[in-house]
């Protein structure tokens, strides 16, 4: 069996690029997931603790477009 060096190099380059792009997409999706999530894990009560309600005061202009988009993705509507 003859192994072609240029073909092997192209395959290794393709695999390297595939792994690199996959890692970048993973970190981007992780960042988007953290951005959309309304509560951080440290804020979730444990045991018999109860979270107190905090009213959100809107500005006179209403919510920003980024906040509305974030709530839209969080609720999934």
Say what the pLDDT of residue 24 is. Answer: 98
**Upper half-sphere CA count for residue 4 (Cβ side, 13 Å):** 4
Q: How far apart are CA 40 and CA 61, in angstroms?
A: 27
Say what the pLDDT of residue 51 is. Answer: 62
Residues 6 or more apart whose Cβ sits within 8 Å of residue 63:
71
The pTM is what?
0.50
Query: Across residues 45-68, what is the average pLDDT?
Result: 69
Say what the pLDDT of residue 67 is. Answer: 79
pLDDT tens for 12-21 read 999 999 999 9
Q: How far apart are CA 67 and CA 77, in angstroms?
A: 14
Say what the pLDDT of residue 8 is. Answer: 93
Top-confidence residue, 33 or 29: 29
């Amino acid at each position: 069996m003859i192994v072609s060096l240029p073909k092997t190099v192209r395959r290794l380059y393709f695999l390297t690029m595939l792994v690199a792009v996959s890692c970048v997409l993973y970190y981007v999706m992780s960042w988007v997931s953290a951005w959309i999530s309304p509560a951080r894990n440290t804020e979730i009560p444990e045991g018999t603790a109860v979270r107190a309600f905090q009213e959100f005061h809107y500005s006179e202009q209403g919510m920003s477009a980024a906040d509305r988009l974030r709530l839209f993705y969080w609720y999934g509507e």
